[in-house]
Amino acid sequence: MADHYKPFEPLVKRIKEDGKCLNGGILKVDSFINHQIDPTLLQAMSIEFVRRFATKEINKIITIEASGIAPAIMVGFLLNVPVVFVKKKKPSTMAGMYSTEVFSFTKNRAYTVCCSKEFLNEGDKVLFIDDFLANGNAAKGIIELTKQAKAELVGMGFIVEKSFQQGGSYLRNEGYQVESLAIIDSLDNCQIKFKEN
């Protein structure tokens, strides 16, 4: 539930120091998340995800290439479970797959996400990890893929959530445990306004 949100302070601090806000509600965290990764922060965030999903049984991490791969890999490493990368296009060498359409507001177009049937199985208990939660379209794609596979989506962890977009409230209303390490209430006037506890 959103009520129980607790910001992960090392991340909030880092966003305040190094995050940049661009026109159009874009938060740029290139220097430590998207284009260059700080390994110490990555480890700390991944341990925090492990803590937040400590009550859940998890046998697989799932993410969508490319920007979710780094935190997903680190959480998979900590939990010692396989990490599955959902692909953004249908690779020519992949036969037998689950697939669905995802609409990207950032890119203003739909794309296909797909996952081989080999790597998502009935009964899997899957944790979805991604960098950003905004409109939640990538998450909806993951929900659809796990449904096709009859896998159980036990939770979703995001580094940054933009609460002024509707993904978080939609997913929580659907009953999913959604954990965001930092929630941003507004990027108006190029000011980063964090949600408090």
Which parts of this chain interact with a copy of itself (CB under 8 A)? 22, 26, 28, 30-31, 34-40, 42-43, 65-66, 69-70, 73-74, 76-77, 80-85, 87, 93-94, 115-116, 118-119
* Residues contributing to the annotated binding site for 5-phospho-alpha-D-ribose 1-diphosphate: 134-138
Least distance from a copy of itself to the Cβ atom of residue 120, Å: 9
If the CB atoms of residues 119 and 170 are measured against a copy of itself, the closer one turns out to be 119
Q: Which residues are paired to 114 by β-bridges? A: 87, 99
User: Can you tell me the distance from the alpha carbon of 70 to that of 27, in angstroms, rounded to the nearest whole number?
Assistant: 18
* Residues contributing to the annotated binding site for xanthine: 27, 34, 162
134, 163 contact by CB (below 8 A): no
Residue pointed to by tokens 């965030």: 45
If the CB atoms of residues 3 and 122 are measured against a copy of itself, the closer one turns out to be 122
If the CB atoms of residues 111 and 119 are measured against a copy of itself, the closer one turns out to be 119
Least distance from a copy of itself to the Cβ atom of residue 155, Å: 19
Least distance from a copy of itself to the Cβ atom of residue 179, Å: 21
Residue 16, amino acid: K
User: Can you tell me the distance from the alpha carbon of 118 to that of 97, in angstroms, rounded to the nearest whole number?
Assistant: 8
Task: For residue 153, give both structure tokens.
Answer: 């989506």
If the CB atoms of residues 5 and 98 are measured against a copy of itself, the closer one turns out to be 98
User: Can you tell me the distance from the alpha carbon of 55 to that of 81, in angstroms, rounded to the nearest whole number?
Assistant: 16
Residue 117, amino acid: K
Least distance from a copy of itself to the Cβ atom of residue 97, Å: 10
Nearest Cα residue to 64 out of 146, 167, 154: 146
Least distance from a copy of itself to the Cβ atom of residue 87, Å: 7
37, 70 contact by CB (below 8 A): yes
DSSP 100-122: EEEEETTTTEEEEEEEEGGGS-T
* Residues contributing to the annotated binding site: 27, 34, 134-138, 162
If the CB atoms of residues 26 and 110 are measured against a copy of itself, the closer one turns out to be 26
